Amino acid sequence: MEGEDVLVLALAQRATRTQACAVMTGWEEPISYRPIGVIRSPHTDPAKCPIQPRYARGIEGRIEIDPAFEEGLDDLDGFSHVVLFFHFHRARPCRLKVVPFLDDTSRGVFATRAPSRPNPIGMSVVRLLRREGRVRYIADVDVLDGTPLLDIKPHIERFGVEGPLRCGWQEAVDEAEAERRGRREA
Amino acid sequence: MEGEDVLVLALAQRATRTQACAVMTGWEEPISYRPIGVIRSPHTDPAKCPIQPRYARGIEGRIEIDPAFEEGLDDLDGFSHVVLFFHFHRARPCRLKVVPFLDDTSRGVFATRAPSRPNPIGMSVVRLLRREGRVRYIADVDVLDGTPLLDIKPHIERFGVEGPLRCGWQEAVDEAEAERRGRREA
């Protein structure tokens, strides 16, 4: 397709989707967010980026917060872990069925953590190492360099999930295999 | 202020904020999401809505997914818990310092779970009870009725956070007091 055709198709798809959503939610306007900062990491190749903080142990990076939001960082440094919310800016277009990194079977995208989601919001719980003005150094970073940061929340132990837990298709994934695939080693 | 003045002020603030963010992230366009569905719950009054699933134990609700995204729900029902991402559609305007529900001291907003954030993204881990077509019945619901749903991810035990943990100002909050405040009991 020519560039213009692609644009027209994209706009048509967006219009259809808006209409469908409006029926369900009564929500017609897009929900617009702006980055509060950026995530810096050694990961520049999506094909080599670890898929979870668990498989990125010890890998360091930083978050650089926009000066406009610096005051919001007060009291954050008492927490050992923070939850980063970010925009998967290099995700492929949305697919409703995906083959997860840790499996070889196609799954519904909402049953996976894959980036190519209808709304490509990413979430990672990372360790907070130290502060330097508007910058926070972090560890266990599984996020691509240059990723737009949308929100930070403290990780709060008392709000944790209580069992019993069932983890669907993930329960059949061998841990050693998960570790190998999750680190994205060749 | 008159309605028009409020609009002009809002647009001016948005322009300033865009500019500030662009400096940091190189990101000039807003990031636009569309609801994938809606969250239904018995909570209609923000002042009485529990603040976390932990303080909403047993309270049932449901998520209604837009037909366009139904296929993405495949394989979800094997998980006992799912993470809901949603737009705090009734949040007050953003404040960088807030007094959290569980405390009486003003804190940086990123060190709290308060809804009035720069990007009002909410996250709740709820129990998945049963399916009915595009509807999933859920429990431990701390979300207001009619909330636009942005994403669903499975809660995966093996991706959990490893200690030791420090929880900042939250560590000084008494658990019985947290339970009382968290349930929003009078």
* Alpha-carbon gap: B46 to the closest alpha carbon of chain A (Å): 19
Q: What's the gap in Å between the CA of B39 and the closest CA on chain A?
A: 9
Kindly state the average pLDDT of the residues B93-100: 96
Same domain as A77, residue A97 = yes
Q: Are residues A14 and A66 in the same domain?
A: no
What ipTM, to 2 d.p.? 0.87
For chain B, what is the mean pLDDT?
88
pLDDT tier, B186 (very low <50, low <70, confident <90, very high otherwise): low
Amino acid at A122: G
Closest among B113, B182, B119, B120 to B147, alpha carbons compared? B120
Whether residue B5 is predicted with pLDDT greater than 80 in this model: the reply is no
Domain match, B74 and B136 both: yes
In this structure, are B75 and B119 located in the same domain? yes
Q: Tell whether A101 and A177 lie within a shared domain.
A: yes
Give the model's pLDDT for residue B40.
98
Residue of B34, B25, B66, B147 lying closest to A35 (CA atoms): B25
Range in A32-41, A172-181, B21-30, B102-111 with the lowest mean pLDDT: B21-30
**Within-domain flag for B97:** yes
Say if A163 falls within a structural domain: no
Our count of domains for chain A comes to 2
Question: Per the domain annotation, does B165 fall within a domain?
Answer: no
Q: Do A2 and A84 lie in a common domain?
A: no
User: Which of A33, A38, A111 comes nearest B30 by C-beta?
Assistant: A33
pLDDT at A59 over 50: yes
Rounded distance between C-alpha atoms, residue A63 and residue A129, angstroms = 11
Q: Which of B63, B87, B33, B29 is nearest to A117 (CA)?
A: B33
- Looking at beta carbons, which residues of chain B come within 8 Å of A166? 78-80
Structural domain contains residue B18: yes
Q: Does residue B162 belong to any structural domain of this protein?
A: no
Domain range for A16 is 1-31
pLDDT at B97: 98
* Residue pairs between chains A and B whose CB atoms are closer than 8 Å: 294
Burial of A102 (0-12, 13-18, 19+ CB in 10 A): buried
Chain A residues whose CB is inside 8 A of the B33 CB are 30-33, 119, 121
Instruction: Say if residue A153's pLDDT is above 60.
Output: yes
| Among A83, A40, A33, A38, residue whose Cα is nearest residue B31 | A33
Considering only CB atoms, A166 lies closest to which of B24, B78, B171, namely B78
Dihedral pair phi/psi, residue B54, rounded to 5°: -60, -30
Distance CA A67, CA A57 (A): 29
Instruction: Supply the pTM of this predicted model.
Output: 0.88
Domain of B123: which CATH number? 2.40.30.70
Say if residue B13's pLDDT is above 90.
no
Burial of A58 (0-12, 13-18, 19+ CB in 10 A): exposed
* Model confidence pLDDT, tens digit, residues A80-136: 999 999 999 999 999 999 999 999 999 999 999 999 999 999 999 999 999 999 999
Cα–Cα distance list, A173 to A182, B57, B152 (Å): 11, 30, 21
Please indicate, yes or no, whether residues B74 and B21 belong to a single structural domain of this protein.
no
Other CB atoms within a 10 A radius of the CB of residue A81 amount to 23
| pLDDT computed for residue A130 by the predictor | 97
Tens-digit pLDDT profile for residues B64-89: 999 999 999 999 999 999 999 999 99
pLDDT band at B24 (very low <50, low <70, confident <90, very high): low
Q: Is the pLDDT of residue B20 over 50?
A: no
Considering only A1-10, A109-118, B102-111, which range has the smallest mean pLDDT? A1-10
Sign of CA dihedral B124, B126, B131, B135: negative
Question: Does B168 sit within 8 Å of A75, measured CB to CB?
Answer: yes
The alpha-carbon gap from B176 to the nearest alpha carbon of chain A, in Å, equals 12
Q: Does A164 map to a domain?
A: no
**A167 within domain boundaries:** no
Report which residue type is found at A42.
Answer: P
Q: Are A113 and A83 part of one and the same domain?
A: yes
Q: Are residues A11 and A42 in the same domain?
A: no
The residue of chain B nearest to residue A29, with distances taken between CA atoms, is: B34
Task: Provide the CA A181 distance to its chain's centre, in angstroms.
Answer: 18
Residues B63 and B146 in one domain: yes
Q: Residues of A with CB below 8 A from B159's CB?
A: 52-54, 113
Residue A26 has pLDDT above 80, yes or no: no
**Residue of A84, A110, A126, A136 to mutate when probing chain B, most B C-beta within 10 A:** A110
Do B64 and B118 reside in the same domain of the chain?
yes
pLDDT the model gives residue B8? 46
Nearest to B117 among A31, A38, A151 (CB): A151
Q: Do A150 and B113 touch (CB under 8 A)?
A: no
Average of pLDDT values for B173-182? Answer: 92
State how far residue B93 is from chain A, nearest Cα, in angstroms: 13
pLDDT at residue A16, rounded to an integer: 46
Instruction: Give the model's pLDDT for residue B37.
Output: 97
Cα B155 to Cα A165: distance, rounded to the nearest angstrom: 9
Same domain, B9 and B57: no
Measured between beta carbons, the chain B residues lying within 8 angstroms of A112 are 75, 153-154
3-class SS of residue A161 = coil
Residue A66 covered by a domain: yes
Chain Cα centroid distance, residue B57: 17
* Distance separating alpha carbons of residues B86 and B76, to the nearest angstrom: 18
Band of residue A28 on the pLDDT scale cut at 50, 70, 90: confident
| Beta carbons within 8 Å of B48's beta carbon, 6+ residues apart | B184
Residue B29's pLDDT band (cuts 50, 70, 90): confident
Best A54, A101, A127, A161 residue to mutate vs chain B (most B CBs within 10 Å): A161
